[in-house]
């Protein structure tokens, strides 16, 4: 029995040794295959199509863009106030019905809200009293004129009647103007129901009212905000040191986190007239082409561009290899043939850099996997 157990143990040891030898042989074979798929010579690497490293590389042709005049600055997308209306109620009352919700498209003159307002009833009553008084004073004036022509009354009595009619006319005009401001010229029924209407066409982007809430003309916040989402601004809090790098009419490029691979364009509309004494910054307002993608309150990175049509090459920072004071990239000189090339940088940002020299438009550069290639090139 003991002899049998020893035999089984010996067989297990032999099988384990054979398995380990087989694994080592497979690892050596894979390493040999990988090494054979890559050929290194000085600063060049030749990668075959079946190499595992080839699947981890991304090679893109570089393109030119307008040269920036400064590094990207922090900014924000905001409403274009020329296409935005903040709507408040001109009368005191209580909201009884809401006709729109946030996100609804509205047309000019469309009803937004119905308000029960005693002030409206009072305004209509004032107009009715003013028109009735005007009719009475006009008749009195006409009688006075007839009596004056007949020599029955003195001239001063006629002048008094004329003044009374003028006062009544002024009061009627004032009362009618008040109703016109409330957009109820055609509603003289005496109803206290006021309809708040949209002053422009656009989209409801904010609503600060619910049914039953009190509305006041002097409320600090608007009840509705209507804007045209096709028109947006970008604002920059420009540092004082960069004030000389921007001008009205200058082109800009805009990037946002929501669309990291896409660049939006715009133009500087205005530059603030004074610098904030605390932050030492001045506000710059820009018009932008949102392509129906940008939204108000988005944070953005805004780069002023050169107006003299000077163009540069921009690279993602993932393409760079930094060694000491110098920067390098891997350029594909022919299919599978990658050469390490030194370049000179101009403006360096968090995600992108602009190239001063070393590349030309159309060069194919490794944008993903450059660090792995450099490690492979450095290995013996």
Is 291 found in the same domain as 165? no
Structure tokens at 334: 């022919």
Instruction: Give the containing element (helix H, strand E) for 180.
Output: helix 155-181
Q: Is residue 23 part of a domain?
A: no
Residue 8 lies in a domain: no
Which residues touch 207 (CB under 8 Å, ≥6 apart)? Answer: 98, 100, 101, 102, 223, 224, 225
- In this structure, the answer to whether residues 186 and 198 fall within a common structural domain is no
pLDDT higher at 203 or 148: 203
**What average pLDDT does the structure give for the chain?**
82
Query: Does any domain span residue 213?
Result: yes
Kindly state whether residues 178 and 123 are assigned to the same domain.
yes
The verdict on 132 and 107 lying in the same domain is no
Q: Are residues 237 and 300 in the same domain?
A: yes
Q: Which stretch, 105-109, 118-122, 142-146, 191-195, has highest mean pLDDT?
A: 105-109
Q: Domain of 96: which CATH number?
A: 2.40.50.100
Backbone angles phi, psi at 249, to 5 degrees: 90, -5
Residues 241 and 330 in one domain: no
The total of structural domains in the chain comes to 4
pLDDT bin (cut points 50, 70, 90) of residue 6 is: low
Please give the Cα distance from 145 to 333 (Å, whole number): 105
Same domain, 113 and 204: yes
Q: What is the pLDDT of residues 223-262, one digit of tens each?
A: 999 999 889 999 998 888 888 888 899 899 999 999 988 8
Residues spanned by the domain of 123:
119-190
Establish if 287 belongs to a structural domain: yes
HSE (side-chain half, CA atoms, 13 Å) at 120 = 28
Domain termination residue (choose one: 169, 200, 227): 227
Give the residue from 245, 277, 304 where a domain finishes: 304
> Which pTM value belongs to this model?
0.60
Residue 20 lies in a domain: no
Output the domain CATH number for residue 280.
2.40.30.170
**Angle at 144 (CA atoms; ends 142, 146), nearest 5 degrees:** 70
Select from 74, 182, 163 the least CA-distant residue to 122: 182
| Residue 16 in domain | no
Q: Which helix (H) or strand (E) holds 133?
A: helix 118-149
């Amino acid at each position: 029995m003991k002899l049998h157990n020893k035999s089984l143990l010996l067989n297990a040891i032999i099988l384990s040794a054979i398995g380990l030898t087989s694994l080592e042989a497979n690892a050596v074979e894979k390493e040999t295959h990988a090494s054979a798929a890559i050929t290194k010579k000085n600063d060049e690497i030749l990668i075959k199509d079946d190499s595992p490293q080839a699947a981890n590389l991304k090679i893109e042709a570089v393109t030119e863009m307008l040269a920036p005049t400064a590094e990207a600055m922090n900014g924000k997308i905001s409403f274009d106030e020329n296409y935005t209306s903040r709507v408040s109620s001109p009368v005191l009352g209580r909201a009884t019905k809401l006709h729109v919700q946030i996100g609804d498209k509205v047309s000019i003159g469309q009803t937004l809200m119905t308000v029960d307002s005693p002030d409206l009833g009072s305004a209509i009553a004032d107009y009715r009293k003013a028109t009735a008084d005007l009719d009475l004073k006009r008749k009195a004036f006409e009688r006075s004129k007839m009596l004056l022509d007949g020599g029955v009354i003195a001239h001063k009595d006629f002048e008094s009647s004329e003044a009374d009619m003028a006062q009544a006319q002024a009061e009627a005009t004032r009362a009618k103007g008040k109703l016109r401001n409330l957009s109820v010229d055609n509603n003289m029924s005496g109803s206290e129901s006021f309809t708040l209407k949209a002053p422009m066409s656009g989209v409801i982007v904010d609503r600060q009212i619910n049914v039953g809430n009190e509305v006041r003309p002097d409320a600090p916040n608007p009840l509705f905000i209507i804007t045209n989402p096709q028109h947006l601004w970008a604002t920059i809090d420009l540092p004082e040191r960069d004030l000389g790098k921007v001008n009205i009419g200058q082109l800009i490029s805009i990037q946002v986190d929501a669309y990291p691979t896409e660049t939006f364009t715009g133009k500087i509309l205005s530059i603030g007239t004074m610098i904030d004494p605390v932050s030492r910054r001045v506000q710059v307002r820009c018009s932008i082409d949102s392509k129906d993608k940008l939204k108000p309150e988005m944070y953005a990175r805004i780069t002023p561009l050169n107006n003299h049509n000077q163009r540069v090459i921009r690279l993602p920072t993932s393409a760079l290899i930094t060694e000491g004071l110098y920067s390098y990239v891997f350029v594909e000189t022919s299919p599978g043939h990658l050469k390490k090339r030194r370049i000179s940088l101009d403006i360096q940002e968090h995600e992108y850099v602009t190239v001063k020299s070393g590349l030309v438009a159309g060069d194919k550069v490794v944008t993903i996997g450059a660090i792995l290639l450099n490690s492979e090139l450095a290995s013996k």
